[in-house]
Amino acid sequence: MIRYLSIAATSIRAYKGTFVLVSLGFFVLYYAALLLATMLRFGEIPNYVVFHDIIGIYALVLQGTPSLQDAIPIMLGEAWLETGFKDPLYYGVATWSYMLIPPKMLLVAIMGMLLGLFASLTLYKRKQACLLDNDRRLFAIAGIGTTFISLTSATLTWVVCCATPSWVVALAMLGMSASLALALEPLGQALTLAGFGLMAWIICVQLKRLVVTNDLSLAT
Amino acid sequence: MKSQLVGAMALVLGVANVASAEDIRIAVGHQSKCTDTYSAGIILKELELIQKYLPRDGKYKDVSYTFDWKDYSSGSPITNQMLANKLDFGVMGDYPLIVNGAKFQATKSLETKYIAGTGYNQKGSGNAIVVPINSDIQTLAELKGKSISVPVGSAAWGMTLKAFQDLGIDTKKDLTLKNQSPSVGAANIAANKIDAHGDFCPWSEIMEFRGTGRKIFDGSEAGVPYLHGVVVRNDYAEKYPEVVVAFMKAVVEAGNWVRNDPVHAATMLEEWTGVEREVQYLYFSEGGALTLDPTIKAEWVEALEFDHTVLVKEKTIPPLDFKRWIDDQYIRTAYKDLGLDYDKDLAYTRVAKAENMKLNPAEIWHKDKGILSYDSVSAMLSDKDSFGKAGTLRASYVYDNTTGLKIFGHIATYVKGSDGIVTAFMRKIDAEAFATSNGGSLMAAGSTSVTGELIKQASMH
């Protein structure tokens, strides 16, 4: 385990720029693409934006919720920023909204860092006197993991589907029937866990191979 | 030095004094675009009715009150905000109410109470399916093979599914069911881009009023009551029961305010919400689709229990203990304090078909003369004097002979009987059946100067 961590740290140090670029890039691109895709899907530019006092909201939730077990999931759903489109033709009803929810942002940031680590490990492995090529299947798995987490981290609302932020809005926007999308909603957590599981697995595979490579290099 | 010390003490005491004077928050989540919620929402806010009844003595002697009104386009976010302790009261429709109760009961430490109604239609009028105004389609059966849109997940969606199921039409195979928001659906109906659109109030009536759509199916035909009501966080109600009673008294007064002068109420509501006064009048005038009865009737509880089973079938929803959730003590106390008889109102249920037929069958909202009531539809249609000038007619209202519902005169189909009596119908097919069985003929649209004027003026909205 310590060797794994050491190799991970070494690869990040060796490719610091790549790690930061991929981690940060994924985070920024994810939220920018989510907003852009929503705007393109509806053909509307956001016409309102609200910043919420998230610390004040957390305090309010804790104050009004005796059980911490209840308070935590409530806090997890609170938004820090909300923007969207209110239809002026029909009394300013918000047709859709895009939200930034801190715990979801944290998940996306962790996902970005995992991708950054994976990229660093891949480059580090290429630089070593590798006995094994980088396995393309790992890239495919990274893609699947990223898709799962990206999809289930979407925090959108749409008046025809969900009035509260939900990841299934993204599915409905992609054309899936709202009934089916809503039926899939409970799978969100499992998909997120599966996404992180896949990412953790491919990183472990890369680390294991690097350990083997290093051992072989030392032996020869 | 001494003066500085006194100053500091005064500051400390001042802070202590401020801290001891409790500030009670009254945070209400309401829906200014949903007509059924007005008697516990926008009316209370604008007329400051709760303030009138707030307790000012005993433990409330030194308290101050802070109001926080938040406006939403649906009930779900209100529930989320109540869970987050940002709202104390919520006003919403039947399905969101159930979700509210169930979501709270699913937690370990929080609950809400359903404490009063705000409006109901005994047969479920409020949701409807609308076709473009010039469409040939008259019945749901004719929608087989066509495209129909509905906001999926809404009460109108539930009604649409049930209506087609009752007809034996498979919504997956026999027609194309699309997912559209109210505004998009209304725009598509106006542009004739969709065969039909199912929606909740006030959208169907707005489409009719604007002359873009025509109802072919009213929610009342499904026969399940449609109601809205008020929920409150239980911890809040236990801490400030007198404030909850004050809220209830304000709800009762709001209902009376509308009933006493529906024209003034409709006018003010248009100003506050943007929903046209002529549409408001259709709901809130005598014989209108909505009642403003805050009592919690046994049949409403049955309807909510039925709605809960629908939600259980459609998606995962936690169980809801209705006995624990429904609490009429606050509204009962409010009635008692106001000297009103709760049980009398509780026992009374307005049935449109039976009671609207006792009212004058036609009304006109004249721009200068106000509401003109007629003892027959033909009297209204022949009142040429009231329409001498263009732009004098705001709207006309008649009752559908089949359901008893109040409808706009310009979208009705009229049958002139052999005895000369004119009868109004919401659907052409009902008018044709009536004409066949009773002897009479359909009046062509615009066949009298008044009906022509009704249609012409409707197209001006």
- What is the ipTM for the molecules in this complex? 0.74
Looking at the structure, tell me whether residues B403 and B260 fall in a common domain. Answer: no
Strand A93-100, strand A156-158: pairing: antiparallel
B272 assigned to some structural domain: no
- 3-state DSSP: chain B helix, strand, coil percent, rounded to 5? 45, 20, 30
More confident residue, B14 or B57: B57
Q: What's the mean per-residue pLDDT of chain B? A: 86
- Residue B12's pLDDT is 44
Pick the residue from chain B with its C-alpha nearest to A72.
B84
How many residues are given for chain A? 220
Average pLDDT over residues B50-64: 95
Strands B147-150 and B176-179: parallel
Residue type at position B57: D
With beta carbons under 8 A apart, name residues in chain B contacting A158.
181
- For the residues of B180-203, what is the DSSP string, one character each? --HHHHHHHHHTT-SSEEEE-TTH
Contact (Cβ atoms closer than 8 angstroms) between residue A127 and residue A158: no
Are B208 and B257 members of one domain?
A: no
B66/A contact by beta carbon, under 8 A: no
Task: Please indicate whether, in this complex, the C-beta atoms of A90 and B182 are within 8 angstroms of each other.
Answer: yes
Amino acid in position A126: R
Nearest CA distance, B274 vs chain A (angstrom)? 6
For residues B73 and B32, the answer to whether their CB atoms sit within 8 Å is no
Q: Which has the higher per-residue pLDDT, B364 or B171?
A: B364
Look at A69 and B108 and tell me if their CB atoms are within 8 Å.
yes
> Residue range A59-64: average pLDDT?
94
Residue B273 and residue B33 in contact, taking contact as beta carbons nearer than 8 Å: yes
One domain, residues B325 and B383: no
Q: In this structure, what are the phi and psi dihedrals at residue B187, rounded to the nearest 5 degrees?
A: -65, -40
pLDDT score of B37 more than 80: yes
**Are B141 and B199 in a shared domain?**
yes
| Per-residue pLDDT at B426 | 87
pLDDT at B3 over 50: no
Is-contact B448 B382, C-beta < 8 A? Answer: yes
Give the residue-averaged pLDDT of B361-384: 89
Interface A-B: count of C-beta contacts within 8 A: 98
Sheet holding B422-425, edge to edge: B422-425, B413-417, B440-442
Give the C-alpha distances (Å, rounded to integers) separating B7 from B14, B17, B32, B392. 10, 15, 49, 69
* Mean pLDDT value across residues B153-160: 75
The answer to whether residues B214 and B295 belong to one domain is no
Nearest CB partner across the interface for A183, out of B80, B85, B315? B315
Reading the block at residue A147, the tokens are 């898709």
Q: pLDDT tens for residues A69-103?
A: 999 999 998 999 999 998 776 566 677 889 999 99
Q: CB A178 to CB B184 under 8 A? A: no
- Cβ proximity of B261 and B370 under 8 Å: no
Specify which of B17-21, B28-32, B389-393 reaches the highest per-range mean pLDDT: B28-32
Cα dihedral value B255, B260, B266, B272, nearest 10: -60
Q: Is B456 on the interface with A (CB under 8 A)?
A: no
**Position B2 pLDDT exceeds 50:** no
Q: Using beta carbons and an 8 Å cutoff, which residues of A are at the interface with B?
A: 57, 60-61, 63-67, 69-70, 74-75, 77-78, 87, 89-95, 157-164, 172, 177-179, 182-183, 185-186
Q: Give me the pLDDT at residue B230, please.
A: 97
B292 in the same domain as B435: no
Q: Which comes out higher in pLDDT, residue B315 or B351?
A: B351
Which of B71, B87, B152, B199 has the highest number of chain A CBs within 10 A, making it the mutation to test binding with A?
B152
Each residue of B401-451: pLDDT tens digit? 988 889 998 888 899 998 889 999 988 889 999 999 998 888 866 555 555
Q: Which residue is listed with tokens 């007064």? A: B253
Give yes or no: residues B89 and B165 share one domain.
no
- Selected residue with higher pLDDT from A31 and B1: A31
* Higher pLDDT, residue B33 or B276: B276
Q: Buried (b) or exposed (e) across B411-447, using 16+ Cβ within 10 A?
A: bbbbbbeeeeebbbbbbbbbbbebbeeeebebbeeee
In terms of domains, do B69 and B138 share one? no
User: Taking CA atoms, what residue in A is nearest to B156?
Assistant: A160
Tell whether the model's pLDDT for residue B286 goes beyond 50. Answer: yes
To which H or E segment does residue B93 belong? Answer: strand B89-93
- B316 in contact with A at a CB cutoff of 8 Å? yes
Total domain count, chain B? 3
Among positive and negative, which fits the CA dihedral B167, B168, B173, B177?
positive
Min Cα–Cα distance to chain A from B182, Å: 8
DSSP B405: -
Q: Is residue B44 located within the same domain as residue B163?
A: no
Chain B nearest-CA residue for A179? B152
Q: Which residues pair with B258 in a beta bridge?
A: none
Tens digit of pLDDT for each residue in B302-324? Answer: 988 988 887 777 666 889 999 99
Instruction: Tell me the residue range of the domain where B205 lies.
Output: 128-221
B179 and B158 in a single domain? The answer is yes
The verdict on B167 and B102 lying in the same domain is no
Whether the pLDDT of residue B43 is over 80: the answer is yes
Q: What is the CATH number of the domain that holds B183?
A: 3.40.190.10
pLDDT of residue A162: 64
Query: CB-CB: which of B85, B180, B186 is closest to A90?
Result: B186
Weakest mean pLDDT among A28-37, A43-52, B374-383:
B374-383
**Residues of A with Cβ-Cβ distance to B75 under 8 angstroms:** 163
Segment of A169-183, B101-115, B314-328, B353-367 carrying the highest mean pLDDT: B101-115
**Candidate from A61, A64, A163 with C-beta closest to B235:** A64
pLDDT tier at B11, thresholds 50, 70, 90: very low
Q: What residues does B196 pair with on adjacent strands?
A: B148
**Per-range mean pLDDT, top range of B82-86, B198-202, B404-408:** B82-86
Q: Is it the case that residue A218 has pLDDT exceeding 70?
A: no
Residue B50 shares a structural domain with residue B88: yes
Closest of B163, B156, B202, B162 to residue B179, by C-alpha: B156
